[in-house]
Amino acid sequence: MLYVHAFSAVEQQLFKQLSNTQSLTQMDIMSIENHESVGRILNFGNHRILLYSFQRLEYYKYLDTFQFEINQVKILAKHIKQAGFEKIILISSPGAYASSDNLYLQHKGMIEQLFVGTDIPCTILRVQGICSPPLQINNFHHLFYQAESNQYVVPKKNGNVVYSVKLNHLATIIQQACIKSEAQHFDVFDNITSLKNFLQYNSPQLQVLGLPIFYLYFQSYMGKYMPPAMFELFVRSGVPMYNFRTEKVFQVSLNADMFNDLTTGMKRGKDSDFIFSKKGQLIPVS
C-alpha cells in the first residue's frame, strides 16, 4: 500500500499503526514536484492500494495553497491509474461537497471527485477529529494553539460537537478497507464531545480559553487566528454523522458511548449541556 500524506503528527502515527500492512510505503504529498517524481516512487514497489490523507489543516490559508494540493492530486491520480492501482482509500471530511459555500469543504469535495474520476474503486472515510489520548496528539492542534500564551483559543459558547476517532480504530478500519470492495462513503468516529473537551483530552495539559465568536472572526480575517475557511467549520451548523453502517461493513466496534448515554438518561450538567441541545441531530429517529 502506498500511503500519501502531509506528514502531520497524527498521520505519522497512523503510518506506525499500519506498519504491519504488506509493502507499506509512505510519500509526502508536498514532495511531488512533477510526473517524474511520482513515477520514481511507484517504481520502488508493487503497490495496488493508495491511502491518501491531508491533515495539516493549518496549511489551508490562501487560495494558492488549495490549488497546490489540487495540482499534486491530479499528478498522483494520473499515475496511479496508469500503474494499475486497484483501490483508493481516501480520508476526507464530513460535509465535503464540490459546490459547498465553504472553501475547505468545496476543496475536499473536489479532491474526492478527482480520485473517483480515476474509475478506481474508492472508499471514502469521512473523518472530523483524529486523536490519540496516550500520545496526547490531535489533528486540530495547530488550528487552535496559540504559542504566545501556550494555550488553545476556541470560540466561546459554541454548541457544535466534534465527532472524533482514535488512531487505532482508524487504522483498523483502513486495514479492513484494504480487503473490502465497497466504493462508498463512510462516517468514521468513536466519540462525540465538545470542542473544548476534545482538545483537553488529547493535548499535553494545555488550557483552553474561550473568546467571543465575532472577536475571533475579526482576528481570523486579520491573519491573527486560523484561516476564515477553517474557522467557519467550527461556528456553523455541523454535519450529523452516523457510524452504524461503518461498524457493520468493516466489522468493528467503535464504542460510541455517547449514543448510549443519550438514550439511557445521562444527567444534564455543565459538561454535557451541549450534547442535549444537539440530541435530535445526533440520534436518527426511526
pTM for the full model?
Answer: 0.87
Quick one: pLDDT at residue 43?
64
- Check if the beta carbon of residue 7 is closer than 8 Å to that of residue 160: no
Contact of 42 with 82, CB cutoff 8 Å: no
C-alpha cell at 51: 491511502
Q: Hey, which residues does 161 pair with through a beta bridge?
A: 194
Residue 166: burial class (beta carbons within 10 Å; 0-12, 13-18, 19+): buried
Closest CA to 139 of 55, 69, 201: 55
Report domain extents, the chain. Answer: 2-279
pLDDT at 284: 36
Q: Which H or E run contains 149?
A: none
pLDDT higher at 156 or 44:
156
Greater model confidence, 263 or 237: 237
* pLDDT of 271 strictly over 80: no
pLDDT the model gives residue 34: 65
pLDDT at position 156 is 87
Weakest-pLDDT range from 98-112, 152-166, 220-234: 152-166
Q: Which CATH number fits domain 2-279: 3.40.50.720, 3.40.190.10, 3.30.70.1230, 3.90.1150.10?
A: 3.40.50.720
